Structure 1
């Protein structure tokens, strides 16, 4: 249940702190005093969208904070573990901050949570029923959801098993559709990759090959220049007629004769001697290179062809042999791991048939569980409607079958007849507004016993009724309060008198600003307030007596 509520700078509320009790709490007061504003604040704690319009004029931000009893459902405990929120027996503190920039921050036990996760938490805390929320009964699409809300843990497990199977089925069905749609382009890509793999593979490229070929081509294209240069050098140094090397040898021998006479002469002699032997080695190497040289025009053609092949591959697959080989490894891996094969589609379609057979079995199991549940709901609804002075009403859940959806194969619609001898007809076509409200209240009475909600808020759901129906509605809301805390905004004295706690909301103007005030009424003050609700502006002894009598009857 909601234990405490703190509101600051919210609409016409400057600062407010409320404490709530178990059972049924009535919020009463003049229209416009701020009763619905309090419900708006509570709805923010359950994950409703915020608006800067909520911020009190002249304030930078507003705050709403609630202390709730800790929900006992196992699903709630799992959710807290998933979100990493620590909980203890002290309760759950939910806080919403909103500033004028539009930024909203949500915290649960001090931990910031997203709005989506706050909604997930809020569904365990509070259920707010507004004046128009019964309209969901006017939409048959919502009837299946309402029926499923009546289900126990075993039903929810059956439904979850179906939904998992449905997800697996639709995933595979979509995969097959995509496979068929992309089959042609997929085959084309495989053909292209196979061609590219063969083209690069047949080239037998190696790292550094292009550099080696360019060097070799440079030599082959400059063959004559190399021959001429080496021949001239050899002749200049090793010719029998004009051998520069012999002359240097003679000079070396001559210098050796004076080397011992002076250190400088010795250095000169050593340098010339060293140069002589170096030149001897160079002449030998030149001779060897001349012997090796051979003009191979076919080899030049082969080198040019190879370089042109490399150039073409670089244009297609990358700027270097290294990049081309990397691309080759990539497409080879893609071809290796490709799951396309001629019988792939056949295998997928066979698996889809198996999954559809399993899904059909789970759907039938879910349908059977719903029909059993619907019989119990029909009996329970008719019992509740009898208490709400619709004793002649007959309520039935009609089933129809549809294709597979995430909810099963069932189409569900509520049928009702409120007059004896009249046939059952769709609820949305034959029920009046007052009857719709009572059917919704009957549902909430039943669900309060099964869903384990902390609090259920009724925002003027008793509008438009009076007399014994009003009293019956008061009794039902009180009954709901025995299973879940019931907070009720009401203008009906019968409903207010039934409450365990009554909060009076009023507004006053201080320094030109409107402020909302809330006070818990004592027994005497409750008599005065209920008398006002009975009589309006002029309160007589008779209305006071009537108010006191209403409270006494409520206690009984």
Structure 2
């Protein structure tokens, strides 16, 4: 395994007092009674990945809930390194540490490698490292609006450059259309806007501002306001250097002393030359101090002028910008906008030309996105067909339908662009032979949806490079041979990504490389969650409990051992 969640530490979170869980490669299964805290651990991981927090997560009586996760990376190609560069966070020692703290007053504190970050930045790191799949996520299959996003997950790297270029063109097109609408609509508003701009321009022109004037005036004010200190400093420095028994004379004495013997020793000769250079530099500095001191004049009238000018500039800053340069930039924008409004018709014609030009470029990129999606859709449908066979949906037919589109370049305006191009797709399925293809939500049951999403995850795992895939009770509503097929599919996913799985199915639990039992315990009249990694014998007992409920029987134990043997046989293949 090249990268994975290695350590998870949780403190004062819901019913969890304090636990630290070490995770291994492959498939880790979490089991336990309902209410023991299995899903709470997944909730903690979701918060670590940037999920929405709440004060309700803070354990009763505690000041804050703390979650920390250590991720190890064994190669520099992982996309998390680019995320780190994007946000100026160094990733060293091939490790990433995500931290999330929620205080009892609702404040959320996020850190990545000990550096404070916003929740949005934490979320960017989280989605690159963790992929959580729950029963709720399965419902996204029911929403056709999410299908295009799911399709684009098939080969995101191949589409990255084209999507980036299209996004730039789409934003540019939207901006041009907005400006066209503002300029073409509501003559009365435009007239009022022009009056306002004329007033602002007149006020700024009367101010007669110069670039960097505020900075220069503030420096001058500082000098004038501290005239006495400046003058005293100059005089003291000059007097310390120039005159009888002063610094410059003593340096000259040292220079003369070395000059006498400079012919007898190379070291003395070098130092004599060096001290001579210092002497002449100090002499020049002394003259500069004297001349600058003589140029100083206290001018209270000028100080008043500077204060008055700065007050005027500060008044303008409150209205037009934080610096004089910003105000001048705003002034240039005013002149440009006034010219646009005054010559509205010519600008509307120019905007219309720009809109058509950018629209054409945007459609070309959207068409390229469409072609790539069609190619990906065909490959994805073939892969899903094979995966569904393994999950005992061998009679199912899965299809990705594209909305009817007209790609004739002469009729570009007929297709409505959106932020992802012009494509709208729907996932269709027929679960029985001879039945027509229909939308998923009209055909598929809960168990079938879980299997379809699991098939997608199996395919996407090798494309996305996510560090850890987490399944939270995705096997609800299935049993028998389908449960065994789901267990095998989840194990196959763990061959390319670390998998953490909460399950109530003994078939899935038997497939685990590491089996952890989640239990509740009472201490000091408080309930807390504890986690224990099971040995093989303990795993047999836990599997027996999952099979029979509460009462353990020899038959259940035999069945549990049989499940473990079947799992070992499957893994060996």
TM-score, scaled relative to structure 2: 0.71
Partner of 2:366: 363
Are the aligned partners of 2:26 and 2:497 in contact in 1 as well (CA < 8 Å)?
A: yes
2:411 equivalent to 1:398: no
Distance 1:339 1:62, change over 3 A: same
Alignment partners' CA distance in 2, 1:2 and 1:175 = 48
Displacement of 1:532 in angstroms is 1.1
Mapped pair 1:344 → 2:357: no
In 1, Cα distance between equivalents of 2:105 and 2:129: 28
What does 1:532-543 correspond to in 2, within 5 Å?
532-543=545-556
The 3-state SS of whatever aligns with 2:381 is helix
Matched, 1:126 2:126: no
Among 2, 12, 24, the residue aligned to 2:15: 12
* Contact 1:144–1:411 (CA under 8 A) maintained in structure 2: yes
Tell whether 2:483 aligns with 1:470.
yes
Q: 1:422 to 1:334 in 2, by over 3 A?
A: closer
Q: How do 1:289-368 residues align onto structure 2 when only pairs under 5 Å count?
A: 338-340=338-340, 341=343, 342-368=345-371
Q: After TM superposition, give the deviation of residue 182 of structure 1 in Å.
A: 5.3
- Displacement after TM superposition at 1:98 (Å): 1.6
Which of 34, 37, 40 is the aligned partner of 1:37?
40
Distance 1:344 1:420, change over 3 A: same
User: What's the secondary structure of 2:424's corresponding residue?
Assistant: strand
Deviations 1:452-491 (A, max 9, x none): 1111111111011100000000011111111111111011
Write the distance in 2 (CA, Å) between the matches of 1:79 and 1:190: 45
Q: Matched residues in 2 for 1:19 and 1:129: separation?
A: 21
> What residue is the counterpart of 1:113 in the other structure?
117
Distance 1:170 1:428 in 2: 34
**Partner SS for 1:135:** helix
Q: What is the Cα deviation at residue 49 of structure 1?
A: 1.3
Contact kept, 8 Å, 1:190 with 1:335, in 2: the verdict is no
Q: 1:73: how far off? A: 5.3
**2:349 alignment partner, SS class:** helix
Query: Does the aligned pair in 1 maintain the 2:151–2:377 contact within 8 Å?
Result: yes
How many residue pairs get aligned? The number is 426
Gap regions ≥5 residues in structure 2: 206-329, 406-414
Q: Which residue of 2 aligns with 1:147?
A: 151
The residue correspondences of 1:122-521 to structure 2 (distance < 5 A) are: 122-181=126-185, 185-186=189-190, 338-340=338-340, 341=343, 342-400=345-403, 401=405, 403-521=416-534
| Greater Cα offset, 502-511 or 83-92 | 83-92
Is the Cα–Cα contact under 8 Å of residues 193 and 331 in structure 1 kept in the other structure? no
Distance across 2 between alignment mates of 1:372 and 1:554:
36
- Equivalent in the alignment of 1:82: 86
Deviation at 1:54, TM superposition (A): 1.2
Q: Which sections of structure 1, spanning at least 5 residues, go unmatched? A: 202-329
2:567 counterpart residue number = 554
Aligned to 1:217: none
Residues 423 and 193 of structure 1: is their aligned pair in 2 closer, same or farther, counting only changes over 3 Å? closer
After TM superposition, the structure 1 stretch with the greater mean CA deviation from structure 2, 439-448 or 505-514, is: 505-514
Structure with the greater alpha carbon radius of gyration: 1
Q: Structure 1 residue 511: deviation in Å?
A: 2.1
Q: Which residue of 1 aligns with 2:535?
A: 522
Instruction: Tell me which residue corresponds to 1:322.
Output: none
Contact 2:197 2:338 in 1 (8 A): no
CA 1:138–1:188 in 2, change beyond 3 Å: closer, same or farther?
closer
For the residues of structure 1 that align with 2:47 and 2:538, how far apart are their CA atoms?
Answer: 31
Does structure 2 retain, via aligned residues, the 8 Å contact 1:148–1:370? yes
Give the whole-Å Cα distance in 2 for the aligned partners of 1:182 and 1:506: 67
CA distance in 2, matches of 1:550, 1:331: 77
2:71 aligns with one of 68, 80, 83: 68
2:101 to 93, 97, 100: 97
Work out the CA distance in 2 between the residues paired with 1:537 and 1:20.
Answer: 28
Supply the distance in 1 between the matched residues of 2:116 and 2:196 (Cα, whole angstroms). 52
- For 2:473 and 2:30, the matched residues in 1 are separated by 10
Aligned-residue Cα RMSD (Å) equals 2.4
How far does residue 188 in structure 1 lie from its aligned partner after superposition?
6.7
How far apart in 1 are the matches of 2:23 and 2:126? 18
Question: Aligned-pair distance for 1:79?
Answer: 2.1
- Aligned partner of residue 59 in structure 1, secondary structure: coil
Shift of 1:110: 0.3
Distance 1:518 1:8 in 2: 13
Asked if the contact 1:173/1:352 (under 8 Å) is kept, the reply is yes
Describe the SS at the equivalent of 1:132. helix
- For 2:36 and 2:464, the matched residues in 1 are separated by 32
- 1:348 CA drift (Å): 1.1
Write the distance in 2 (CA, Å) between the matches of 1:145 and 1:499. 31
Give the corresponding residue for 2:316. Answer: none
C-alpha contact 1:73 1:452 (8 A) present in aligned 2: no
Contact 1:140 1:428 in 2 (8 A): no
Is 1:197–1:332's contact at 8 Å kept on the other side of the alignment? no
Instruction: Name the CA distance, whole Å, in 2 between partners of 1:21 and 1:497.
Output: 16
Structure 1 Cα separation of the partners of residues 52 and 356 of structure 2: 44
Matched with 1:326 is none
Counterparts of 1:495 and 1:197, CA distance in 2: 73
In structure 2, C-alpha distance between the alignment counterparts of 1:79 and 1:458, rounded to whole Å? 25
Scaled by the length of structure 1, the TM-score of the pair is 0.73
